[in-house]
Chain A
């Protein structure tokens, strides 16, 4: 998936532990999104950044999730403490042509 690098690809943690995901929009887009995709569902928006500012975090569970975007480039998404229902793929995306997105390869989180 050209344009967006994500790491790690996979992560397994126990419930109540903390975890962090990293996203680097290689092409340096001002806008960056984090989506959560639970198995069998479509991606759901968690947070949108414009440069290093938050545009929309209305669907982010702020009691346990946090996100930041350093210097308007890289972004990290953190979960603390994790719950079983947080098991999902976490996708980072940037705008593509015509109002669509380019997604990164995602981080698959399993909470046990």
Chain B
């Protein structure tokens, strides 16, 4: 059973702080990793993807991947109240070039609250 584990939270940070969200996965052959943001009552929205070990930055968001440790993280710098949401980690074990199922396995999400 392929699993994706996240701390459910809730995680609270003050406005302007760095929020750190963590995710571990069990399938060692996993190739693609994603972070989705889900506001209450809304569907998940893709915010970051990462495929190689190291860091990937996009604005205030940085995704970090360590395949040896089977660990993915998301850092949100200068957190804003509008970042308050549930963050879902998702993993795809298929190689990027396979054109295969592209099925994603999701974690249960971490609820983030940014306090004004």
B69 interface hit (Cβ, 8 Å): no
Given A42-B107, A98-B49, A99-B96, do A1 and B43 touch, yes or no (CB 8 Å)?
A: yes
A100 touches B108 (CB 8 A): no
**Which B-chain residue is minimally distant from A33 (CB atoms)?**
B103
Residue interface mask A60-94, B partner, CB < 8 A = 1:
00000000000000000000000000000101000
Given contact pairs A1-B43, A43-B104, A99-B94, enumerate 18 new A-B contacts (beta carbons under 8 Å): A1-B45, A42-B88, A42-B106, A45-B103, A45-B105, A48-B101, A55-B101, A91-B43, A98-B32, A99-B32, A100-B34, A100-B90, A101-B44, A101-B46, A101-B104, A102-B46, A103-B45, A105-B42
Interface pair B103/A48, CB less than 8 Å apart:
yes
With beta carbons under 8 angstroms apart, the residue of A44, A98, A99, A105 that contacts B106 is: A44
A interface with B by C-beta (< 8 Å):
1, 31, 33, 40-45, 48, 55-56, 89, 91, 95-96, 98-106
**Whole-angstrom distance between the Cβ of B30 and the nearest chain A Cβ:** 11
Alpha-carbon distance A42/B7, docked complex (angstroms): 12
Interface contact A42-B108, CB-CB below 8 Å: yes
Across the A-B interface, give the 9 residue pairs with the lowest CB-CB distance, nearest first.
A42-B106, A103-B43, A100-B46, A99-B32, A98-B49, A42-B108, A106-B43, A43-B106, A41-B108
Contacts of A41 in B (CB 8 A): 108-109
Chain A residues near B34 (CB-CB < 8 A): 99-100
Q: Residue of A at shortest CB range from B88?
A: A42
Chain B residues with Cβ below 8 Å from A31 are 102
In the assembled complex, the CB of B3 is this many whole angstroms from the nearest CB of chain A, namely 11
The contact of A103 among B4, B32, B44, B105, by CB within 8 Å, is: B44
Which residues of chain A are within 8 angstroms of B46 by Cβ–Cβ distance? 96, 100-102
* Minimum Cβ distance to chain B for residue A63 (Å): 21
For the complex formed, measure the closest distance between the CB of A12 and the CB atoms of chain B, giving whole angstroms.
16
A44 to B88, CA, bound (A): 12
B84 lies within 8 A of chain A by Cβ = no
Task: Please report the C-alpha to C-alpha distance between residue A43 and residue B92 in the assembled complex, in whole angstroms.
Answer: 14
Measured between beta carbons, the chain A residues less than 8 angstroms from B44 are 43, 91, 101, 103
